[in-house]
Chains A and B, each alone.
Chain A
Amino acid sequence: MKRLRIEELLQRNVWDVGKKPHIEINMDACGSCESKLCVKLCPAGCYTVVDGKVLFSYEGCLECGTCRTVCPQGAVKWSYPRSGKGVYYRFT
């Protein structure tokens, strides 16, 4: 058994990713954040650090709400994907 990377885990799901992001990040507020809790706690690994800055991709979002709960900057403008887009659970 080998450890799966988050990308590999997410690939096991059925997805219908929308064209537009359903989450918006206020980059001004985000840029001044030290703790970067989203990077550590988002269960989909949607937040990554590149050159000290947080990069966000909405494609693997599991629509759980962790980022909006933990963001100390209030920088996450969070909503659900429209038109039934996003993750499609079958066995959960």
Chain B
Amino acid sequence: MIKSNTTFPTKFDAIVVGAGPAGAASAYVLSKKGFKVLLVDRSREAGSKELYGGRIYLGPLKEVWPDLDKKAPIHRWIKKERASIMGKDGRIITIEYNAGRRTSFTAYLPELVRWMVSKAEEEGTIFVDEVVVDELLTSDGKVVGIRSGPDEIRSDVVIDAEGVNRLLLEKLGLVSGPRPEELALGIKEVLKVRKNEINAQFNVDDDEGVAWILMGDITLGIPGGGFIYTFNETISIGIVIHMANAIRAAEAGAINHSFELVENLRLHPYFNKLWKSSDVIEYGAHLTIEDGLSFMPKRLVYPGLLIVGDAAGLILNTGYTVRGVDFAVYSGKLAAEAVEKALSEKEGATEENLKVYEDMVRKSFMYNELKRHRASKELMKDPEFFTKISRIPLKFFSELYEIDKEVPTAYEAFKNACRSEDSGPLSLMFKLWGMVKKL
């Protein structure tokens, strides 16, 4: 709803569709530069449709809000990185890395986005919630505003930050419908756990947290994984499954209800002791992008239009690192800078003038990261990696540590582990090397 004390201009310099991290960042930066910005979102209150895994990298956010690490509603700084391979029989391998400095944190995305939007409002952005945008208005092949129900609002430029479900871009014919090969389904539970219990269970201080990724049996071998993140007084747990493989698993009868996977994680005998007196206080789901470069629209600018955040495919998932919020914020910042440049030109927001945004994205660390990690995409979709290959190290350690009388040499244990998956040590080494190169 529009606050009664604000005067509502009939035309804006920029309209930003979607008040997620990308939209809020672009609105903030543009308003700070003095532009008249309208930011609209479909939520009841800013942030209330936001859902992600749970960890955000600080670096790119600080370039937009230098005091974010002091002022924003941050829960815990990630101190421990854990990664586990899980077997069917309760066997689990975990590695833990204790970090030396603070580069990422957990925060409730609804809270953080509300903070970002309030910063934009302080700079003059007019934020209107409860707005579902039905279409982007065009005139002579140029985007000139938005329509929501009977209301039409005009602007020199529109920034599309609509997220992973690109209803508006699809309607304009700029992208095709959703493709299961490029997407993944994330399902998440938020567990209420007392603060001192979290600290004790995870061996961390009040402001320190854990980011934990799981692979293997936790997704029934479907490419994807599980996650556990600690917050002040909650733990978020969830699973992400690659959609095309989830479809194959559903067709094969291997999965009856996707939501059972998260309950499997909550009730898992190895993990449930970490949250034994917990209560589920929230449950949600969101699509995420498995292959950013493939999901990315052919062009990120059209006359009068820029595409940012998830809608632009700017999300990185290497399997061991997931970066969405920081990419979104950074793309919002780049879009705002490009708009400033374009609107300072005589012809305004033409495609040619906006093109600078596309160049900035392609020269940015985001695009480099997406390209650098492109090969890992194949691996992240490969069922063999999540079943056979991940069972071999489990077998190896079981040979080595589960002892009756004789202790095998490490090499014997390795050979036995390979044999159990119909693989010779040498051919496995070649295969692994091929896989490791992609990571």
Contacts and interface: CB of A to CB of B under 8 A. Distances in A.
Interface in A69-92: 69-70, 78-92
B282 A90 contact: yes
Contacts of A50: none
Contact of B250 (A1, A9, A40, A85): A40
B167 A79 contact: yes
A92 B236 CA distance: 8
A78 to B, nearest CB: 8
Nearest to B283: A9
A25 interface: no
B247 interface: yes
Nearest to A35: B251
B167 to A, nearest CB: 7
Contacts of A12: 280-283
Contacts of B44: 16, 84-85, 88
Contacts of B255: 40-41
Nearest to A65: B165
Nearest to B110: A89
A43 B185 contact: yes
Interface stretch (B46-54, B87-95, B136-144, B152-160): B46-54
A88 B130 CA distance: 12
Contacts of B246: 41, 70
Contacts of B258: 40-43, 66
Nearest to B254: A40
Contact of B259 (A1, A6, A85): A6
Interface in A1-34: 1, 3-4, 6, 9-10, 12-13, 16
Contacts of A42: 258
B48 A89 contact: yes
Contact of A89 (B49, B180, B259): B49
A64 B258 CA distance: 13
Given A1-B276, A89-B50, A92-B51, A66 B185 contact: yes
Interface stretch (B186-194, B346-354, B370-378): B186-194
A77 to B, nearest CB: 11
Contacts of A63: 49
A contact face: mostly helix, strand, loop, or mixed = loop
A89 B236 CA distance: 13
B263 A91 contact: no
A92 B110 CA distance: 7
A60 to B, nearest CB: 10
A37 interface: yes
B287 A9 contact: no
A54 interface: no
A49 to B, nearest CB: 11
B283 A10 contact: yes
B272 interface: yes
Interface in B221-269: 231, 234, 236, 243, 246-247, 250-251, 255-259, 263, 266-267
A9 to B, nearest CB: 4
Which 5 residue pairs are nearest across A and B when measured between Cβ atoms? A84-B44, A43-B285, A84-B130, A92-B51, A9-B283
Given A40-B257, A84-B42, A89-B109, 14 more contacts: A1-B266, A1-B276, A3-B263, A12-B281, A13-B282, A43-B285, A83-B130, A84-B43, A88-B43, A88-B44, A89-B110, A91-B190, A91-B231, A92-B51
26 contacts: A4-B263, A10-B283, A12-B282, A12-B283, A40-B257, A41-B246, A43-B187, A62-B284, A62-B285, A64-B286, A68-B165, A68-B177, A79-B132, A80-B132, A81-B132, A82-B42, A83-B130, A84-B44, A89-B49, A89-B110, A90-B108, A91-B234, A91-B281, A92-B51, A92-B108, A92-B236
